[in-house]
């Protein structure tokens, strides 16, 4: 091999390795899947809408579309946020099992919001959001603190163990509050399983700035995650301040998870599997994994929601449930196709 | 002297592992730190690489305390190869080596021709150019260690600190790697500081040898002055004869061991 052939391909821009697709091809696939998901989300549901209704003034179809547009946008945003948060958590903890649900962030946000309704009688979405952040942030700090006990600091295994324990503990508190408080239960029942239906534009608009900041913090941190992936010693040798790096990216994750949970309730699985799917396709560099995870997370969540609308008529299955139902076969397909890429 | 320690104490808890050590690293030469397990040699190296904040004293790089300098600026001068770096699964050689460019790139700065040149040079110097497109997990131990050195070289630092770079390598690959590092000193004038376990290899490749014992420096200087039978006994607790290496003329430690002691087994001498 000559020097020039090596240099033609820069490490930052070019994925390689066996059986991997190129980034442009994957990006094209993503655009296609997103398009299908959005169109399906607009047209399919309890009532099918003809594409022609889009332009037919005052038709029934157009009325339905008015509720489906915010639902679609919310699904895209929540899915992107959760997948992005999951990919970042996997990088921060160097643990392939990390995900907002597994590390207790979802449960923390959920519990905080149940408290908001039950104890503080709060009804405004803005206040929910702050409770969501607080819950996710407190959960993150708690899990990290508990995992830091003992020798060796917060190792990936201890983090996941602490997260799982916290998630289980907090979830039972949530259940306890809901079982004893009928009014709160009614408010929170649908939200608790994760749903993007029945939300208006106001909800989407309220969450947008927080999601934007979260996405910015995490996406800019992509290269930092690539350096952290080499181990803390090497990352620090390369001039990273690993504590500050983790805090900044962690803040982004809390914003993404807290907002997504406040808007839609806990949607699990997306944050866990989407980054792995993306890694199988383009390798483990976070500069590629983060943006593509956001895209595929959005598409998968929306498709799961569409399937949930029609699978069991006349009722709808919530996206929180459907994400796992749709996600598992997709995940298995990817696992069989390529060896699962690690971190 | 660009790198020096001034009565530095280092440790992880209350008790210092390295106890008020002062030393100077000669520029452009290879310095090797040796000592028994747990003597604090890796801790000292980590302290010099600013991975460990001193309990007291300071490590000085270019006239200023290394902990008071911006860490990214330090990373342009001082490279580190830790004992067990982690290669992300599925990463290719060229991709991994490229990550050594981290301190030279801003958060949003694009990959530049200078980055390309640095990576190419690093691959060439370590003879890993033909491995460039290979996945790191599939390389042999010797190749992988070369790739990590290449990554450190892509960082383009004048000083390079390595923590036991030859661990897990068979003897041929140990020599191979040490030859490579020695070559860097010759071609690039890189100041190399490394922790080695093998006293004979240390004596052969070091210009400057630092022997540590119980968190302090037991002896420092040219290998021929540092490695004596008495010192091997006091530093490593090993009875040995020190002879001249027939190939390099450096000191060669020949352990005696329990079964060859004249008193215990008079016949063993002839065996």
For every residue of B28-55, DSSP letters joined together read TSEEEEEESTTSSHHHHHHHHTTSS--S
- Calculate how close chain B gets to A115, using CA atoms only, in Å: 39
| Neighboring chain B residues of A233 at a CB cutoff of 8 Å | 46, 51, 80, 82-83, 85
- Calculate how close chain A gets to B268, using CA atoms only, in Å: 47
Chain Cα centroid distance, residue A32: 20
| Beta-carbon separation of B72 and A11 below 8 A | no
For A216: left if phi > 0, alpha if psi spans -120 to 50, otherwise beta; the answer is alpha
Element (H, E) at A20: none
Nearest CB partner across the interface for B74, out of A224, A226, A239: A239
| Neighboring chain B residues of A10 at a CB cutoff of 8 Å | 98, 111, 115-116
- How high is the pLDDT of residue A337? 63
Element (H, E) at A283: none
Domain A23-35+58-337 bears CATH identifier 1.10.3470.10: yes
Q: Based on C-alpha coordinates, what's the Rg of chain A?
A: 21
What domains can you pick out in chain B, each with its CATH number? 1-77+157-223 (3.40.50.300), 88-156 (no CATH)
| CB contact burial A282-316 (16+ within 10 A = b; e otherwise) | bbbbbbbbbbbbbbbbbbbbbbbbbbbbeeeeeeb
- How high is the pLDDT of residue A8? 40
The more confident residue out of A55 and B118 is B118
Q: Would you list the DSSP string of A97-111?
A: T--TTTTTHHHHHHH
Q: Would you list the DSSP string of A126-170?
A: HHHHHHHHHHHHHHHHHHHHHHHSSTTSS-HHHHHHHHHHHHHHH
The more confident residue out of B186 and B8 is B8
B:71-90 residues touching chain A, CB 8 A cutoff: 71-76, 78-90
Q: What is the dihedral of CA A144, A149, A155, A157, to 10 degrees?
A: -90
| Beta-carbon separation of B86 and A237 below 8 A | no
Q: Is the separation of the CB atoms in A221 and A91 below 8 Å?
A: no
| Beta-carbon separation of B91 and A239 below 8 A | no
d(CA B13, CA B11): 6
| Neighboring chain A residues of B150 at a CB cutoff of 8 Å | none
Length of chain B in terms of residues written: 271
pLDDT, one tens digit per residue, over B13-53 is 778 899 999 999 999 999 999 999 889 999 999 999 999 99
- How high is the pLDDT of residue B270? 44
Chain Cα centroid distance, residue A300: 10
Nearest CB partner across the interface for A239, out of B72, B88, B97: B72
Q: Which residues of chain A have pLDDT under 50?
A: 1-19, 341-343
What is the average pLDDT across B82-105?
Answer: 90
| Beta-carbon separation of A234 and B82 below 8 A | yes
Nearest CB partner across the interface for A17, out of B80, B98, B135: B135
What is the average pLDDT across B146-160?
Answer: 93
Q: Is the separation of the CB atoms in A196 and A75 below 8 Å?
A: yes
- Give which of A22, A234, A282 to mutate to test B binding, by max B Cβ within 10 Å: A234
B:109-168 residues touching chain A, CB 8 A cutoff: 110-111, 115-116, 119-120, 123-124, 129-130, 132-133, 135, 155
Q: What is the dihedral of CA B149, B158, B217, B246, to 10 degrees?
A: 60
Among residues A240, A237, A234, which one has the least CA distance to residue B49? A237
pLDDT band at B144 (very low <50, low <70, confident <90, very high): very high
Name the DSSP class of B105: S
A:35-54 residues touching chain B, CB 8 A cutoff: none
Kindly tell me if the per-residue pLDDT of B189 is higher than 80.
Answer: yes
Nearest CB partner across the interface for A227, out of B82, B102, B116: B102
- CB contact, 8 Å: A342 with chain B? yes
Q: What is the dihedral of CA A10, A12, A16, A21, to 10 degrees?
A: -120
Q: Any residues with CB less than 8 A from the CB of B113 and at least 6 apart, and which?
A: none
Quote the ipTM score: 0.87
Q: Any residues with CB less than 8 A from the CB of A187 and at least 6 apart, and which?
A: A117
| Neighboring chain B residues of A240 at a CB cutoff of 8 Å | 71-72, 102
Q: Would you list the DSSP string of A29-73?
A: HHHHHHHHHHHHHHH-SSS---GGGGGSTT-HHHHHHHHHHHHHH
Element (H, E) at B227: none
- Pairing verdict, β B64-65 and B216-221: unpaired
- CB contact, 8 Å: B225 with chain A? no
- How high is the pLDDT of residue A20? 54
Q: Any residues with CB less than 8 A from the CB of B34 and at least 6 apart, and which?
A: B41, B195, B196, B197, B199, B202, B209, B210, B211, B212, B235
Q: Is the separation of the CB atoms in A278 and A284 below 8 Å?
A: no
């Amino acid at each position: 091999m000559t020097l020039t052939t090596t240099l033609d391909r820069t490490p930052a821009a070019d994925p390689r390795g066996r059986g991997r697709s190129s980034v442009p091809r994957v990006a094209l696939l993503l655009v296609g899947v997103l398009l299908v998901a959005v169109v399906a989300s607009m047209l399919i549901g309890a009532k099918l809408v003809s594409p022609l209704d889009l332009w037919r003034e005052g038709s029934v179809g157009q009325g339905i579309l008015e509720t489906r547009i915010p639902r679609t946008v919310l699904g895209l945003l929540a899915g992107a946020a959760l997948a992005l948060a999951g990919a970042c958590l996997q990088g921060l903890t160097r643990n392939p099992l990390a995900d907002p649900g597994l590390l207790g962030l979802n449960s923390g946000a959920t519990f905080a919001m149940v408290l908001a309704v039950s104890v503080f009688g709060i009804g405004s979405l803005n206040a929910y959001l702050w409770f969501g952040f607080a819950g996710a942030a407190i959960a993150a700090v708690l899990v990290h603190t508990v995992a830091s006990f003992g020798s060796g600091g917060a190792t990936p295994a201890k983090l996941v163990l602490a997260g799982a324990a916290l998630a289980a503990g907090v979830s039972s508190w949530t259940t306890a509050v809901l079982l004893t408080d009928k009014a709160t239960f009614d408010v929170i029942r649908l939200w608790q399983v994760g749903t993007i239906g029945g939300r208006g534009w106001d909800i989407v608009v309220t969450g947008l700035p927080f999601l934007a900041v979260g996405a910015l913090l995490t996406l800019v941190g992509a290269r930092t995650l690539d350096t952290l992936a080499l181990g803390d010693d090497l990352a620090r040798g390369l001039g990273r301040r690993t504590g500050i790096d983790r805090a900044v990216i962690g803040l982004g994750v809390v914003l993404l998870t807290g907002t997504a949970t406040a808007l839609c309730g806990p949607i699990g699985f997306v944050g866990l599997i989407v980054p792995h799917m993306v890694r199988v396709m383009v390798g483990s560099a976070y500069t590629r994994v983060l943006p593509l995870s956001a895209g595929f997370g959005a598409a998968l969540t929306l498709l799961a929601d569409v399937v949930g609308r029609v699978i069991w008529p006349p009722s709808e299955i919530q996206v929180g449930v459907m994400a796992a139902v749709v996600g598992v076969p997709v995940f298995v397909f990817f696992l069989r196709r390529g060896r699962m890429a690690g971190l | 002297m660009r790198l020096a320690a001034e009565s530095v104490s280092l440790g992880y808890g209350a008790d210092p592992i390295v106890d008020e050590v002062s030393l100077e690293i000669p520029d452009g030469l290879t310095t090797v730190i040796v000592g028994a397990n747990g003597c604090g040699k890796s801790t000292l190296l980590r302290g010099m690489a600013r991975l460990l904040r001193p309990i007291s004293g300071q490590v000085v790089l270019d006239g200023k305390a290394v902990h008071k300098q911006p860490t990214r600026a330090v990373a342009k001068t001082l490279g580190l190869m830790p004992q067990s770096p982690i290669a992300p699964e599925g990463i290719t050689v060229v991709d991994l080596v490229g990550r050594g460019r981290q301190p030279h790139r801003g958060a949003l700065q694009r990959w530049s021709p200078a980055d390309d040149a640095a990576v190419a040079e690093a691959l060439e110097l370590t003879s890993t150019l033909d491995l460039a497109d290979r996945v790191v997990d599939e390389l042999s131990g010797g190749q992988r260690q070369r790739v990590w050195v290449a990554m450190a070289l892509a960082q383009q630092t004048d000083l390079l600190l390595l923590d036991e770079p030859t661990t897990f390598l068979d003897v041929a690959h140990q020599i191979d790697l040490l030859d490579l590092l020695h070559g860097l000193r010759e071609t690039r004038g890189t100041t190399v500081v490394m922790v080695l376990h093998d006293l004979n290899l240390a004596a052969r490749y070091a210009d400057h040898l630092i022997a540590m014992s119980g968190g302090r420096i037991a002896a420092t200087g040219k290998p021929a002055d540092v490695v004596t039978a008495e010192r091997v006994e006091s530093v490593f607790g090993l009875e040995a004869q020190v002879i001249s290496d027939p190939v390099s003329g450096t000191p060669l430690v020949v352990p005696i061991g329990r079964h060859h002691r004249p008193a215990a087994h008079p016949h063993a001498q002839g065996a």
